[in-house]
Every structure is written in structure tokens, then in C-alpha cells.
């Protein structure tokens, strides 16, 4: 027993040594991202590595972490050393400005289009042939319909859905009270609130639950065209929300790790033609006109509003609707 115990301890010590050097062998970037960009960055990262090598001759590997947008932002605030963050909601980057200035206060100005290299929108995914005849937001409030939405408390995707439903009423000239009444009816039809966007998709497609899934266009289109075995259709509502996902460099981390140049190049790559093509391939709408035109069949015209334009400043919206005891809480608690 004695020598065995000793060798066990030795093995443990050896194991601890093993992992230490493996982490720092070459230049790496860590991209901390939200839930439904998994497939996108799986393609972007190797493409960036070869693009960067061709450009500078340097070798960079990109590591990837995914999860609910807010949860990921929180991890970065708590010390997860992300060089770049690619979130789905600007408040999740603003929080990093507030929390000890991890991100520059003017991060929106550092990259084109308010630092959003691609756009996406909240749309509907329905079962093949649209058996329930779901055309627009009004339909979601129909009694007896089952609507799958990720949890607005924990997921940016869910928050966009909630705000899109709210804004659809306001955009048509409705009052705040009308909007609240409508959103209450929609959430009465929600049987499951998954923690993240991908969880909601799985519930809808794999568990056969619900008549309609509200999620980002890229997710819906990917399921309808590629992953869903042709069992689903995308429905575009008459108006929806612009959910352009923002990106930023985490200044404090790149300063410490000496990766500022690589991090900036990585985000630049998202705007470059090659990056934009990969983005379009994954059903995100590229910013490049040329790439958008080349993929016109994937992206039907869509009418959308911005949160700031219709509902006011993001941070105020966040507080009013999603803080504890806010409008969303009142709606779901009393439904």
C-alpha cells in the first residue's frame, strides 16, 4: 500500500506539471462568444489562422468558448481571459466597460457598423408546410398555440424575441399598454424557457414541442436548410428587430498577453471578404454589399427596427424590462 500511495501522489504531481506548459506554447487568442455562433466560428477560426499566416507569417490559434451571452460576459468580468468577445447584445459588452474597464468605452467606434460585422434578426421557425398558418407576430398570441422561446432572463436571444414582440406593437402605432397586453398573451403560450438559444432549438426540433420557435435568422435558416432534415420552414414576420451582434477587443487582456495586434486582426478578418463569405455561408447577413448580393437567395428582404430607434437606450430598456421586478418579471409572474 505504501509505495502505491506514493506513486499515486507522484502521478498527480506529474499530471499537474503536464498541463502547465501546454497552455502557453504559441500565440493563441480566446474568443468568448454566445450560444448560436458555434458553427460559424468553427469555420472562421482556421480560415483566420491561414489568412493571418499568409499576411504576416505568424502562427495564431484561436480557442473558442460558447454559452449564454450574459453568462459569458460575466465570466470575462470575473477573469476569463478572452482576447476578443463576440456577444449578441451590446449591454453584454457595456458591462465590461463598467466593470473595471476591460473594454474601451468607445468600443462601438473601433470597428465599422458600430462594431457589428454581420446582422441577424428574430424570425420564426415553424414545422414543414406551416400547419398552424403562422404569418406574423399577432399569430403568436392566438390562444392554444405553443411558442418556444429561450429564457429572456438568461439569454440575449430571448430578450430580442421579447423586444421584437413588444416593438411590433409599438411600430404599428400601438401604445405601451397594448404592447404589454400583447407580450403577456404571447408568453402565456410559452411552455418551456430554455436557458440559451440552442437549448430552445433542441426542444423545438428534437422534442417536437411547440408550434413555432422564435430565434435568430441564422439559427432558423440553418435548421430549415441544413440540420433539420427538411422538416422545418422559416417564416419572416412583417417587421422584426435588428439583432446585430457586436464584437470587441478586451483591452486589459490583450495588453497583458501582448496579443493586441492579433486580436484586432481577428476582428478585422470578420469584415474582410473571406470572413464575410463564411459569415454568409452560416446565414448571418454580411455587411459587404457584394457578398450580400452574391447570396441574395439566402436573405429575403426584411423590415426591421433598432432597439435604440423604437424603444430607447439599450441600458434603460434592459433595466425597465429585464431587471428583477421589471416588466418581464411582472408579465411572467402574473400570467
Partner 1 sequence: MSAATLFNPTRQTRVLPGFGLSLGYTLVYLSLLVLIPLSAVFLKTATLGWSEFWAVVTAPRVVASYKLSFGASLLAAGINAVFGLMLAWALVRYTFPGKKLIDALVDLPFALPTAVAGIALTALYAGNGWVGSILEPLGLKVAFTPLGVLVALVFIGVPFVVRTVQPILEDLETELEEAAASLGAQRWQTFTKVILPILLPALLTGFALAFARAVGEYGSVIFIAGNIPMVSEITPLMIITKLEQYDYVGATAIATVMLVFSFALLLVINLLQAWSAKRTGRNR
Partner 2 sequence: MAAAGVLHGRADARRYENNAATRETPWVKWTLLGISLAFFAMFLLLPLVAVFTEALRKGWVTYLTALSDEDALSAIKLTLITAAIAVPLNLVFGVSAAWCIAKFQFRGKHFLTTLIDLPFSVSPVVAGLIYVLLFGAHGWFGGWLAANDIKIIFAVPGIVLATVFVTFPFVARELIPLMEAQGREEEEAATVLGASGWQTFWRVTLPNIKWGLLYGVILCNARAFGEFGAVSVVSGHIRGQTNTMPLHVEILYNEYNFAAAFAVASLLALLALVTLGLKSFIEWKAGQQSRESE
In the region spanning residues 8 to 67, those forming contacts with partner 1, defined by CB under 8 A, are none
If residue 239 lies in a helix (H) or strand (E), which one and from where to where? none
In the region spanning residues 40 to 99, those forming contacts with partner 2, defined by CB under 8 A, are 63-67, 75, 77-81, 99
- Choose the one of partner 1, partner 2, none that binds residue 75, judging by a C-beta under 5 to 8 angstroms depending on kind: partner 2
Check binding of 229 to partner 1 (CB under 8 A): no
- Choose the one of partner 2, partner 1, none that binds residue 291, judging by a C-beta under 5 to 8 angstroms depending on kind: none
Q: How far apart are CA 266 and CA 165, in angstroms?
A: 34
Chain position carrying cell 450580400 = 292
In the region spanning residues 186 to 205, those forming contacts with partner 1, defined by CB under 8 A, are 190-195, 203
Q: Which stretch binds partner 1 (CB under 8 A): 16-24, 124-132, 148-156, 232-240?
A: 148-156
Q: How many CB atoms are closer than 10 A to CB 105?
A: 10
Check binding of 227 to partner 2 (CB under 8 A): yes
Check binding of 201 to partner 2 (CB under 8 A): yes
Check binding of 80 to partner 1 (CB under 8 A): no
CB 232 within 8 A of CB 127: yes
Q: Please identify which residue in 156, 196, 275, 286 interacts with partner 2, judged by CB under 8 A.
A: 196
Check binding of 94 to partner 1 (CB under 8 A): no
Check binding of 272 to partner 2 (CB under 8 A): no
Check binding of 208 to partner 1 (CB under 8 A): yes
Q: How do strand 212-216 and strand 147-150 relate by DSSP bridges?
A: parallel
Q: N- to C-terminal Cα distance for the chain?
A: 63
Distances (CA, A) of 333 to 101, 187, 210, 213, 228: 35, 10, 21, 22, 34
What letter does residue 272 receive in the DSSP assignment?
S
Q: Please identify which residue in 33, 37, 45, 70 interacts with partner 1, judged by CB under 8 A.
A: 70
User: Can you tell me whether residue 278 is helix, strand or coil?
Assistant: helix
Q: How do strand 247-249 and strand 84-86 relate by DSSP bridges?
A: antiparallel
Residues that bind partner 1 (CB under 8 A): 68, 70-71, 74, 77, 95, 99, 151, 153-154, 190-195, 203, 206-209, 322-325, 329, 332-333
Amino acid at each position: 500500500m505504501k509505495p502505491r500511495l506514493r506513486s499515486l501522489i507522484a502521478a498527480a504531481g506529474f499530471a499537474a506539471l503536464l498541463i502547465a506548459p501546454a497552455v502557453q506554447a504559441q500565440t493563441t487568442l480566446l474568443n468568448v462568444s454566445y450560444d448560436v455562433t458555434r458553427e460559424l466560428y468553427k469555420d472562421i477560426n482556421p480560415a483566420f489562422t491561414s489568412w493571418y499566416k499568409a499576411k504576416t507569417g505568424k502562427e495564431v490559434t484561436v480557442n473558442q468558448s460558447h454559452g449564454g451571452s450574459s453568462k459569458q460576459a460575466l465570466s470575462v468580468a470575473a477573469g476569463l481571459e478572452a482576447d476578443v468577445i463576440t456577444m449578441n447584445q451590446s449591454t453584454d459588452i457595456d458591462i465590461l466597460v463598467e466593470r473595471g474597464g476591460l473594454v474601451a468605452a468607445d468600443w462601438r467606434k473601433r470597428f465599422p457598423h458600430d462594431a457589428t460585422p454581420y446582422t441577424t434578426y428574430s424570425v420564426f421557425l415553424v414545422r414543414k408546410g406551416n400547419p398552424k398558418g403562422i404569418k406574423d407576430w399577432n399569430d403568436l398570441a392566438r390562444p392554444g398555440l405553443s411558442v418556444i422561446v429561450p429564457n429572456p432572463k438568461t439569454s440575449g436571444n430571448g430578450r430580442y424575441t421579447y423586444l421584437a414582440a413588444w416593438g411590433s406593437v409599438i411600430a404599428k402605432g400601438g401604445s405601451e399598454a397594448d404592447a404589454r397586453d400583447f407580450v403577456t398573451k404571447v408568453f402565456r403560450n410559452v411552455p418551456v424557457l430554455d436557458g440559451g438559444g440552442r437549448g430552445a432549438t433542441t426542444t423545438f426540433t428534437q422534442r417536437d414541442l411547440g408550434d413555432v420557435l422564435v430565434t435568430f435568422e441564422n439559427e432558423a435558416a440553418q435548421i430549415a436548410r441544413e440540420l433539420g432534415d427538411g422538416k422545418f420552414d422559416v417564416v419572416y414576420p412583417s417587421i422584426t428587430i435588428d439583432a446585430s451582434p457586436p464584437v470587441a477587443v478586451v483591452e486589459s487582456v490583450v495588453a497583458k498577453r501582448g496579443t493586441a495586434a492579433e486580436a484586432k486582426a481577428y476582428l478585422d478578418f470578420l469584415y474582410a471578404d473571406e470572413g464575410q463569405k463564411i459569415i454568409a455561408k452560416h446565414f448571418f447577413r454580411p455587411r459587404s454589399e457584394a457578398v450580400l448580393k452574391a447570396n441574395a437567395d439566402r436573405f429575403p428582404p426584411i423590415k426591421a427596427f433598432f432597439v435604440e430607434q423604437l424603444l430607447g437606450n439599450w441600458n434603460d430598456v434592459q433595466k425597465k424590462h429585464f431587471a428583477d421586478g421589471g416588466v418581464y418579471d411582472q408579465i411572467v409572474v402574473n400570467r
